[in-house]
């Protein structure tokens, strides 16, 4: 082979190799371009879909009422119309051919397109207005009412058709106010009634021996000696009222009664239901009455097996205020009759007793206080010097770090003499009655069991602070107790500066008639 031919062959091979490389590069570029075009096509489709979505007309929600007509033509195309409710409007609209009309259910949410055609059926709405059932009818209708007492007739639909609906139940109503869609669980009213056994006993209460004996006679004796009461044809009292100035042990007595009942009677352990009176007041018409019915219903259920049940209502004057006074919003015009109906109505209250506590017996409706309802009225008054000694003895004992050569009895005697001193250093103010007569008021005139406990606690706090400062256990002595009384006296005196004379005297139970003026000590 000639040399020229060899060179030509080599050149052809190089050319072919170069063309192969160029072809590979073009194919790679072609693949990349195809992928880019594919991605661009996808992005374009997505953009088009988003554009169509943004430019599309809105769709409307409505409530299905019923199918008006449905027929199929010769070509098998469905022609149907339905009655729907959109808010307060009732409309007859066509149903889309691809939607089977027979599957449309009353009360279900449907979707309408821009041409007002039913195109889809959704689930039943679980949200909406809540109404209370007032009356049920055999044909599936319900009479429901809102919080203001406005009544509406609705029809039971969906899953609610197979459920038992009772008067007093709460139901979810659709926006058109035509259908009851579902039952709503009852409100949790358990926090309004506290069922408990307090740890306070009658031994923990000082200075109220007479009151304790009376309430034991009224509350414990009827349950512990049922046969004797039946033998003498004597019925237990329906209610007991503890009244008097604040801070003197009314609530403590009620707690001790609960503790005593918890020890058990012949019928078993008693039940103590503590009612939060002010929380029963509700701005919606009929709601407070419903809560009162609920409380007494619970009491009857607990007492059904013969166990004693105590319903304790603290601050009773806030709930059962005298009707027609105009002092409040007159909600008591319906609350008081409801309470009286529960107390002595048709349904028996066997083994149930009401104990009320109030600082203002003058504000409670007289119908509540009459015999046959709150039969026993026990005044829990301010402690005298002798009762104060018994009260303080519970808080100032020989177990505490006391001053040397001084026992608790001696300290209590000095403390009581200081508190009940009728001289200028315990002179709080002067009050004027409606006859223009002025009379002095001393710390002893407004002292209470709570005040006595607070004075002892102040002295103990001083002792703790001294112990922290000195590093040694400080003793409670006459000086610390006197300092505690001085501080209590000053706070009580300063509180009189802006007090309303008449209201202050009534709350504190001063026996001075109608007080028209207060003149604090300078």
Q: Looking at residue 140, which CATH number applies to its domain?
A: 2.40.50.140
Question: Is the domain of 355 the same as that of 236?
Answer: yes
Q: Is residue 411 a part of any domain in this protein?
A: yes
Instruction: Answer whether 118's CB lies under 8 Å from 66's CB.
Output: no
Residue 300 has which token pair? Answer: 């009857």
Q: Is residue 32 a part of any domain in this protein?
A: no
Measure the CA–CA gap between 303 and 226, rounded to whole angstroms.
Answer: 15
Question: Is the domain of 438 the same as that of 474?
Answer: yes
Question: Is the domain of 155 the same as that of 218?
Answer: no
Q: Is residue 453 a part of any domain in this protein?
A: yes
Last residue of a domain, one of 69, 94, 121: 121
pLDDT for 330: 58
pLDDT for 520: 81
Our CA angle for 170, 174, 180, nearest 5°, is 45
Give the residues of the chain that fall short of pLDDT 70.
1-12, 49-56, 74, 76, 148, 187-197, 262-268, 276-279, 282-286, 324-332, 345-348, 509, 511-513, 522
Q: Is residue 207 a part of any domain in this protein?
A: yes
Q: Looking at residue 470, which CATH number applies to its domain?
A: 1.10.8.60
Last residue of a domain, one of 379, 399, 416: 379
How would you list the strands of the sheet with 427-433, edge to edge?
A: 438-442, 427-433, 515-520
pLDDT for 386: 92
Question: Is the domain of 320 the same as that of 214?
Answer: yes
Q: Is residue 438 a part of any domain in this protein?
A: yes
Question: Is the domain of 240 the same as that of 329?
Answer: yes
Question: Is the domain of 198 the same as that of 333?
Answer: yes
Number of neighbours of residue 207 by Cβ within 10 angstroms: 25
pLDDT for 472: 85
Question: Is the domain of 168 the same as that of 270?
Answer: no
Q: Is residue 7 a part of any domain in this protein?
A: no
Q: Is residue 16 a part of any domain in this protein?
A: no
Number of neighbours of residue 493 by Cβ within 10 angstroms: 17
Question: Is the domain of 225 the same as that of 346?
Answer: yes
pLDDT for 481: 93
Question: Is the domain of 300 the same as that of 415?
Answer: no
Measure the CA–CA gap between 518 and 499, rounded to whole angstroms.
Answer: 8
Measure the CA–CA gap between 258 and 297, rounded to whole angstroms.
Answer: 19
Residue 469 has which token pair? Answer: 């400062």
pLDDT for 32: 83
Instruction: Answer whether 355's CB lies under 8 Å from 255's CB.
Output: no
Question: Is the domain of 173 the same as that of 211?
Answer: no
Measure the CA–CA gap between 17 and 9, rounded to whole angstroms.
Answer: 12
Question: Is the domain of 166 the same as that of 228?
Answer: no
Domain count, the chain: 4
Last residue of a domain, one of 379, 409, 438: 379
Q: Name the residue range of residue 393's domain.
A: 385-520
Q: Looking at residue 81, which CATH number applies to its domain?
A: 2.40.50
Q: Is residue 224 a part of any domain in this protein?
A: yes
- The HSE-up count of residue 149 (CA atoms within 13 Å, CB side) is 7
Question: Is the domain of 411 the same as that of 332?
Answer: no
Number of neighbours of residue 182 by Cβ within 10 angstroms: 18
Angle between helices 385-393 and 408-419 (to 10 degrees): 140
pLDDT for 465: 93
| Residue-by-residue DSSP string for 219-254 | IIHHHHTHHHHHHTT-PPPSEEEEESSTTSSHHHHH
């Amino acid at each position: 082979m000639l040399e020229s031919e060899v060179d030509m062959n080599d050149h052809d091979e190089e050319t072919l190799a170069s063309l192969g490389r160029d072809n590979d590069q073009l194919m790679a570029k072609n693949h990349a371009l195809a992928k880019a075009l594919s991605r661009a096509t996808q992005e374009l489709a997505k953009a088009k879909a988003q554009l169509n979505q943004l430019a599309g007309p809105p769709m409307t929600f409505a409530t299905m009422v019923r199918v008006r007509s449905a027929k199929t033509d010769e070509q098998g195309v469905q022609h149907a119309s339905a009655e729907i409710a959109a808010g307060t409007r009732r409309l007859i609209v066509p149903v889309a051919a691809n939607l089977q009309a027979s599957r449309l259910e009353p009360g279900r949410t449907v979707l309408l397109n821009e041409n007002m055609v039913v195109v889809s059926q959704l689930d039943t709405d679980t949200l909406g207005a809540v109404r209370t059932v007032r009356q049920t009818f055999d044909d599936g209708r319900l009479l429901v009412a809102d919080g203001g007492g406005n009544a509406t007739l609705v029809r039971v639909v969906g899953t609610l058709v197979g459920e038992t609906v009772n008067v007093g139940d709460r139901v979810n109503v659709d926006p058109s106010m035509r259908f009851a869609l579902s039952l709503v669980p009852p409100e949790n009213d358990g926090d309004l009634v506290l069922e408990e056994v307090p740890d306070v006993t009658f031994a923990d209460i000082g200075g109220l021996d007479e009151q304790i004996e009376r309430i034991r006679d009224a509350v414990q004796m009827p349950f512990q000696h049922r046969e004797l009461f039946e033998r003498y044809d004597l019925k237990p009292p329906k209610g007991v009222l503890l009244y008097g100035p604040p801070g003197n042990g009314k609530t403590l007595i009620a707690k001790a009664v609960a503790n005593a009942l918890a020890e058990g009677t012949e019928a078993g352990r008693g039940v103590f239901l503590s009612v939060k009176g002010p929380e029963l007041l509700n701005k919606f018409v009929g709601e407070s009455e419903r809560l009162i019915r609920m409380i007494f219903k619970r009491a009857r259920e607990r007492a059904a097996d013969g166990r004693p049940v105590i319903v304790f209502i603290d601050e009773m004057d806030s709930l059962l205020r005298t009707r027609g006074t105009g002092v409040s919003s007159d909600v008591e015009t319906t609350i008081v009759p409801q309470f009286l109906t529960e107390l002595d109505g048709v349904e028996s209250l066997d083994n149930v007793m009401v104990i009320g506590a109030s600082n203002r017996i003058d504000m409670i409706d007289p119908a509540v206080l009459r015999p046959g309802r709150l039969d026993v009225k026990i005044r829990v008054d301010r402690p005298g010097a002798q009762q104060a000694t018994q009260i303080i003895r519970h808080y100032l004992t020989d177990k505490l770090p006391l001053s040397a050569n001084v026992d608790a009895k001696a300290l209590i005697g000095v403390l009581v003499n200081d508190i009940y001193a009728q001289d200028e250093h315990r002179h709080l103010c002067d009050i004027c009655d409606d006859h223009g007569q002025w009379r002095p008021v001393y710390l002893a005139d407004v002292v209470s069991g709570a005040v006595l406990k607070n004075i002892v606690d102040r002295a103990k706090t001083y002792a703790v602070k001294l112990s922290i400062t000195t590093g040694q256990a400080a003793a409670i002595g006459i000086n610390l107790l006197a300092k505690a009384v001085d501080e209590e006296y000053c706070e009580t005196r300063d509180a009189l500066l802006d007090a309303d004379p008449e209201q202050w005297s009534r709350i504190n139970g001063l026996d001075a008639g109608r007080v028209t003026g207060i003149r604090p000590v300078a």
